Structure 1
Amino acid sequence: MTHDHDIDLRPTPAQTAAALNPPAGRNGGDLVVETLQGLGATTVFGLPGQHALGMFDALRRSDLRYVGLRVENNAGFAADAYGRITGEAAPLLLSTGPGALTSLAALQEAAAASAPVLAISSQIPTAGLGGGRHGYLHELRDQQASFRDIVKSVHTVRTQSQIPSAIAAAWESALTAPHGPVWVEIPQDVLLAETTLPQVAPVDAFPHDLLPRPELTAVAADLLARAERPAIIAGGGVVRSDASGKLRALAEQLNAPVVTTFGGKGAFPWEHPLSLQSWLEDRHTTDFLEDADVLLVVGSGLGELSSNYHTFTPRGRVIQIEADAGKLESNVPALGIHADARIALTALLETLEGPREDPAAADRVREVLTRVRERIDAQDLGAEQQLLASVRAALPDASPSFWDMTILSYWAWSAFDARRPNTMHSAQGAGGLGYAYPAALGAAAADPTKPVLAVSGDGGAMYSIAELATARQYDLPVTWLIVDDGGYGILREYMTDAFGEATGTELSRPDFVALAESFGVPGVRTSPETLTEDLSKALAAPGPSVVVLPAVLRLFAPTHLG
């Protein structure tokens, strides 16, 4: 325990001098940006609005880099990707009412994917709060209520002195496992009023370590040590907690086959002898996992996709390591260990003794993958597989890729080799359209030294067209592959299968190449035969680019029906 007398609480002479002589011309917005800088933020995303102008005015007096997008939801997706790539909380500055509400779908995706986004919204003036009766522009009766169901935590500010503590608490919440989006709300008058408070000094807001309980580690280690057919499901929590190295070490020590969920792509090497890859929507994989006598699930709640549409019913013991307490045993009975994936895997590695010998494990993995490939090959889907291979051939190993809800992405979840951890990202957490391109812009803002790939269908692309202006304005190295099949291809296929014909799925669309060029972004129309070459050229060129592929793709047949 730390006692007060153990800490020197006296300000230094320099801190005292600075506090007693704050610069003139500051407002509440300066307290916001000073706190963000004090926490270590370097980049903020957002969109200005009437009530938020105090924050945005303060930006020009700060060293923070501002990346402004054209739609609040897209700004949220960009912040989400920045948080995933850097592991830092990504500030997202928003206005009140419509501006704030437009970010909801992006924050839902951040929550589903455990991406640390620090959303800071303005609010109507303090005098008008509490009833929705005053007629202020953008007024909501209870703005926070719209966000409470989505974000990890809500932090309310009503005076300037509350700003640093509220933002620091939100920052800590966003970065405590499970990572996620948080919401801070500050009224317009608080942001605009001149402040005499001193400049905010560096702020400590360290996330709490989520440690496994030692008695549960002991039981889990004993189960794994005695297992005859152990297997591992690695989810997004492994990627978020930077635990892929620990996962590999444990899998090799146990000789346990590993399958990664769609959110956990890249958590385990694709070509490793123990890699079952990501074929979760396949009955052969499901059967194999059901047959494990001990199944270790790390960083996954075993939701709809990870459980092959809830057809997965394991027969052995399940150990589930999960940072989100609400997901523990929510779908499958298990030994539930509420912990950060990296720390829990470290604890297991330190507890287990000696390698477990199983020379047949790699053979069993090869047998499953052979069955999966034979099933896919029997469906005459060579064109789809070749397109995915062409994308993989063009994309540098270290470059991140972002995938929208489009047929090629559904293929990529199962079949794409994400060669490094934390390089393949999609919107499969919440499943909203329009994620890929603005998210890729956020990733490029995080690390402009690598080209970034975004993959969308023509339907999803229309959600993000405005952000071509953002890409050009900030000269972000994002190549956007748009697969143009004339509509909402997945929904067309679903409806045709279910009802015999589709409704509302066919779309009029622009000439995407000409449209990109009108923004000053180079565009090219490609073909399946020239895709690798055209995509490689676009990725190698500096700045943004668009590659349009006219193609109608098919999904592989569902495999959860037995």
Structure 2
Amino acid sequence: MSHVRNGGDLVVESLTTLGAACVFGLPGQHALGLFDALRRSPLRYVGLRVENNAGFAADGYARTAGTVAPLFLSTGPGALTSLAALQEAAAASVPVLAVSSQIPSAGLGGRRRGYLHELRDQQASFRDVVKSVHTARTASQIPSALAAAWESALTAPYGPVWVEIPQDVLLAPTTVPRVTGLRAEPRPLVPRPELIAEAAVLLAEAERPVVLAGGGVVRAGATAELLRLAELLRAPVASTFGAKGAFPWEHPLSLRSWLEDRHTTDLLEDADVLLVVGSGLGELSSNYHTLAPRGRVIQIEADLGKLESNHPAFGIHADARLALAALADSVPATAPDGRAEEAVALLLKQVRARLDAQGLDLEEGLLAAVRRALPDDSPVFFDMTILGYWAWSAFDARRPGAMHSAQGAGGLGYGFPAALGAAAGAGGRPVLAVSGDGGAMYSIAELATARQLGLDVTWLIVDDGGYGILREYMTDTFGAATATELARPDFVRLAESFGVPAARTRPEDLERDLAAALATPGPSVLVLPALLRMFAPTHLDPAGQERTGQERTGRAAG
């Protein structure tokens, strides 16, 4: 039976021409034209069991593959279920291109005709989440809408985009020629030369320059430029939780990522010029808005809404790589005198002393075991769980794009499906996911996906019987915890019922067991029963007094 090309074919032809290789999603009634067209395309389809998990998988793929990740969704409930994943992609500037079906065109325009999945204004549900919204109401509009969305997703700052196409447009025969010449050229966000010149003067004249590198450095591929500039300035570099791997962990100028420690905050405040690159200085990056710089702040930020949103600054609206390269070409080399390296060494010694006083050998040992077991070129995806919060500050990612978490929006259930997406484009590298037992239940259905597709993901589930970090918060704040204790399955037997090899491990065996699981092709699960504690961060209270404790709302459940 010969096939007559339709709108679905235009979608897959357009995405293929734009450079897509893989599509994530979950079929639904209005979107069947999309999924049928996949049969006639070279695109690889990675289907998940829940739309939100499909969104997280697309996110993980986009982060590791360094390109746009298409996500196919159906109308109404299917589309809405993806919102939390798209919020994380937006918060972390990840280029996910969601293509959603819509009810037939006859039901649009505000009329309520009672179609299945009908929403009064489906686009309105996504406008506050995604970077841009695009519609195609005829077949001829599809290629251009997708090209515009692709360009938007990859224009700094990167972000998720939304394309909506009615069911009848996807299914109707079309005479539009096969798509072959479609192009999308993201616009470079070039810094203005007069701003670079002035910033270079400020940095060259600074006696105590410090750099705070944000996630924008990693997204822009600006790590080499950051290293060059830091070494020219002899400036210490702190990396935010979203910038893991942006700067070499063991470099003598590396302050690492101890942003929840007051010593780091003090050093950032004491800088006479603080260069903030690719960060909006939000809650987590500013030690919960206690950072109060006393010197000049230079902020390089691609997201105009984040520029000077928290602190007055000499603002440069630009791509991080282009701006850092221009600055490195403009500042003279500072003669090394050892002061910056001494300041870094002192800070790390102070952090070490604070941790040693808290009796956290178990937690530090577990994170070190994960680091030793994980190959340097394998990415790890942490869910919102205590070991993940430790990783924000203490994990050496060793290279950009090697560690990811859901700290952008803070939603549970990110780790495992994002790791599955990364494995779909990892080129044979094993991928690690780390979840708590609470977060694991959000994505347990994706064990079926892992088994069906043979994805090379090892899932470490740290089982402490509940939402561990919320247990800590509530106990510290109220003296008792409520609604944090959870009944849960036998994760080992449950994984085995999906045909996924699984085992329990112990802290003293974790490195050996994890290394073995990662070296074995295909999916696997390791369950670690352990009750972990967070280190006590330090900050200043509103009266200016140093406080140590967990009275924060910035972390989510584990």
TM-score of the two chains, using structure 2 as the length reference? 0.96
Instruction: Tell me the alpha carbon deviations over residues 28-47 of structure 1, each in whole angstroms, 9 at most, x when there is no partner.
Output: 10000000011011100000
2:242 maps to 263
- Distance in 2, Cα, partners of 1:477 & 1:254: 42
Give the match for residue 151 of structure 1: 130
Q: Which amino acid aligns with 2:189?
A: L
Aligned match of 1:418: 397
Mapped pair 1:474 → 2:453 = yes
Could you tell me whether the CA contact under 8 Å between 1:516 and 1:523 is conserved in 2?
yes
What's the counterpart of residue 407 of structure 1? 386
Q: Is the 8 A contact 1:392 1:417 kept in 2?
A: yes
Q: Which residue of 2 aligns with 1:190?
A: 169
**Pairing partner for 2:348 from 352, 364, 369:** 369
Q: CA deviation at 1:132?
A: 5.3
Cα distance, 1:418 vs structure 2: 0.6
1:453 paired to 2:432: yes
1:203 aligned residue: 182
Match of 2:16 in 1: 37
Alignment partner of 1:162 out of 138, 141, 144:
141
1:498 CA displacement: 1.1
- Cα distance in 2, alignment partners of residues 132 and 72 from structure 1: 27
Per the TM alignment, residue 206 of structure 1 is displaced from its structure 2 partner at its CA by 1.0
Tell me the distance in 1 between the aligned counterparts of 2:338 and 2:263: 21
Q: Which amino acid aligns with 2:346?
A: E
Matched, 1:125 2:125: no
Does 2:295 match 1:316?
A: yes
Q: Structure 1 counterpart of 2:164, which letter?
A: E
1:328-377 deviations in Å (ceiling 9; x for gaps): 01011110000000000011011112334332111110000000110011
Q: How far, CA to CA, are the matches of 2:109 and 2:260 in structure 1?
A: 48
Within 5 Å, give how 1:17-166 maps onto structure 2: 25-131=4-110, 133-166=112-145
User: In 1, are the aligned partners of 2:52 and 2:83 still within 8 Å (CA)?
Assistant: yes
Instruction: Choose the corresponding residue for 1:336, options 294, 315, 323.
Output: 315
Question: 1:157-306, aligned counterparts within 5 Å?
Answer: 157-306=136-285
Match of 2:374 in 1: 395
Paired position in structure 1 for 2:543: none
State the shift of 1:196 in Å.
Answer: 1.5
Offset at residue 203 of structure 1 (A): 1.5
- 1:4 corresponds in structure 2 to none
The residue number in structure 1 matching 2:553 is none
- Are the aligned partners of 1:448 and 1:476 in contact in 2 as well (CA < 8 Å)? no
Q: Output the CA distance in 1 between the equivalents of 2:296 and 2:216.
A: 21
Q: How far off is 1:24 after superposition? A: 5.0
CA distance in 1, matches of 2:28, 2:51: 10
> 1:41, 1:64 within 8 Å by CA — same for their partners in 2?
yes
**Counterpart of 1:16?**
none
Look up the equivalent residue of 1:214 and give its one-letter code.
P
Match of 2:472 in 1: 493
CA shift digits 1:260-281 (9 cap, x unpaired): 0000011000000000000000
Letter in 1 for 2:294: R
Contact 1:433–1:460 (CA<8 Å) still a contact in 2?
yes
| Contact persistence 1:448–1:477 (CA under 8 A) | no
Q: Is the 8 A contact 2:501 2:523 kept in 1?
A: yes
| Letter in structure 2 aligned against 1:530 | D
| Cα distance in structure 1, aligned partners of 2:493 and 2:398 | 33
Q: Distance in 1 between matches of 2:212 and 2:185?
A: 29
Paired position in structure 1 for 2:526: 547
8 Å CA contact 1:440–1:452 kept in 2: the answer is: yes
Give, in angstroms, the shift of residue 448 of structure 1. 3.5
**Separation in 2, partners of 1:241, 1:227:** 26
User: 1:132, 1:139 within 8 Å by CA — same for their partners in 2?
Assistant: no
- Please state whether the residue corresponding to 1:118 is helix, strand or coil: strand
Matched-pair contact (CA < 8 Å) for 2:209–2:273: yes
Does residue 513 (structure 1) correspond to residue 496 (structure 2)? The answer is no
In 2, Cα distance between equivalents of 1:437 and 1:197: 40
* Percent of aligned pairs sharing the same letter: 76
C-alpha deviation, 1:251, in angstroms: 0.5
Q: Which residue of 2 aligns with 1:386?
A: 365
What is the deviation of 1:202? 3.3
Asked if the contact 1:406–1:460 (Cα under 8 Å) also holds between the matched residues in 2, the reply is yes
**Matched AA of 2:53:** N
- Rounded to whole Å, the distance in 1 between the matches of 2:389 and 2:333 is 39
- The letter of the residue matching 2:487 is S
CA shift for structure 1 position 449:
1.3
Cα deviation, residue 560, structure 1: 1.3
Distance 2:109 2:445 in 1: 35
Match of 1:17 in 2: none
Structure 1 residues 132, 550: CA separation in 2 closer, same or farther (over 3 Å shift)? Answer: farther
1:44 partner SS:
strand
For the Cα contact (< 8 Å) 1:229–1:293, is it kept in 2? yes
What secondary structure sits across from 1:206 in the alignment?
A: coil
Given that residues 255 and 274 in structure 1 are in contact (C-alpha distance below 8 angstroms), is that contact kept between their aligned partners in structure 2?
yes
Q: Which runs of 5+ in 2 are unaligned?
A: 541-545, 547-558
The residue that corresponds to 1:13 in the other structure is: none
- Cα distance in 1 for partners of 2:198, 2:335 equals 17
Q: Secondary structure at the match of 1:196?
A: coil
8 Å contact from structure 2 (residues 300, 318) kept in 1: yes
TM-score, normalising length: structure 1: 0.95
Looking at structure 1, the residues matched to 357 and 18 of structure 2 have their Cα atoms a distance apart, in angstroms, of 55
SS of the aligned residue for 2:225 comes to helix
- Contact 1:32–1:163 (CA under 8 A) maintained in structure 2: yes
Give the secondary structure class of the aligned counterpart of 2:243. coil
> Which of 456, 462, 480 in structure 1 is aligned with 2:441?
462
> Cα offset for 1:194?
1.0
Whether the 8 Å contact between 2:96 and 2:159 is mirrored in structure 1 is yes
Secondary structure of the residue aligned to 2:212 is strand
- Contact 2:459 2:526 survives alignment (8 Å): yes
Aligned counterpart for 1:428 among listed residues 401, 407, 427? 407
User: Following TM superposition, by how much is the alpha carbon of 1:558 offset from its aligned partner in structure 2, in angstroms?
Assistant: 2.6
2:232 and 2:332 in contact (8 A); partners too: no
Amino acid corresponding to residue 349 of structure 1 in structure 2: A
1:452-491 Cα distance to aligned partner (Å, 9 max, x none): 0000000000001010111111111100000000000011
Counterpart CA distance in 1 for 2:337 and 2:158 is: 36
